[in-house]
Amino acid sequence: KAGVTQTPRYLIKTRGQQVTLSCSPISGHRSVSWYQQTPGQGLQFLFEYFSETQRNKGNFPGRFSGRQFSNSRSEMNVSTLELGDSALYLCASSLEPGLAREQFFGPGTRLTVL
């Protein structure tokens, strides 16, 4: 069974640009969560999607947005990139929300903002 897939794995952008990251959950998983990981702030929850609906959102500015498609694949978008947005962005999937023990993380997308 394939794991969570994230594309691209590495990305370099400049300030002011926007970026879209993609996540394909494990087959059959319908819940997708996104996290930001930085050396300074650690791992922080961005948002969670289930059945194409955002269920929860972390404490991030509106420049961070996401969506989920009918096949459970998810994308997150960051507009007007800032240097501080440089981070590893992790996606995690589970069958349903609330199944914390069944949540599996992808390898992440390393975003560098210059």
Residues of this chain that interact with other proteins (CB under 8 A) are: 4, 31, 42-45, 48, 50, 55-56, 58, 90, 92, 97-98, 100-101, 103-108
Which residue lies nearer to other proteins by CB, 43 or 80?
Answer: 43
Min CB(94)–other proteins separation in Å = 9
Task: Give the count of beta carbons closer than 10 Å to the beta carbon of residue 61.
Answer: 11
Min CB(51)–other proteins separation in Å = 12
